[in-house]
Amino acid sequence: MKALQKTNLAEQAYTVIHQMLLDGAHVQPGDKISVEDLARRLGVSRSPVWQAIARLEAERIIEVRPRQGVFFIGFNRERLLEIFGVREVLEGAAARLAAERSTPEAVSELRHSIARQRAVVDHPSQQAYADEATRFHHILAQLAGNSVMTELIGRLWDQTKAMCIRPEAKSAILDARVDEHERIVDAVARGDADAAEAETRHHIRRIAVEVYNL
pLDDT in tens, 119-135: 988 776 677 888 898 89
What are the tens digits of pLDDT across the range 79-115? 889 999 999 999 999 999 999 999 999 999 999 999 9
What pLDDT score does 9 carry?
85
Architecture of domain 9-72: Orthogonal Bundle (1.10)
Give the model's pLDDT for residue 166: 56
Count of other CB atoms within 10 angstroms of residue 4: 20
**pLDDT band at residue 19, thresholds of 50, 70 and 90?**
confident
pLDDT of residue 22: 84
Superfamily of domain covering 77-212: GntR ligand-binding domain-like (1.20.120.530)
Domain coordinates of the chain in residue numbers?
A: 9-72, 77-212
Find the radius of gyration of the CA atoms of the chain.
18
What's the pLDDT at 214?
56
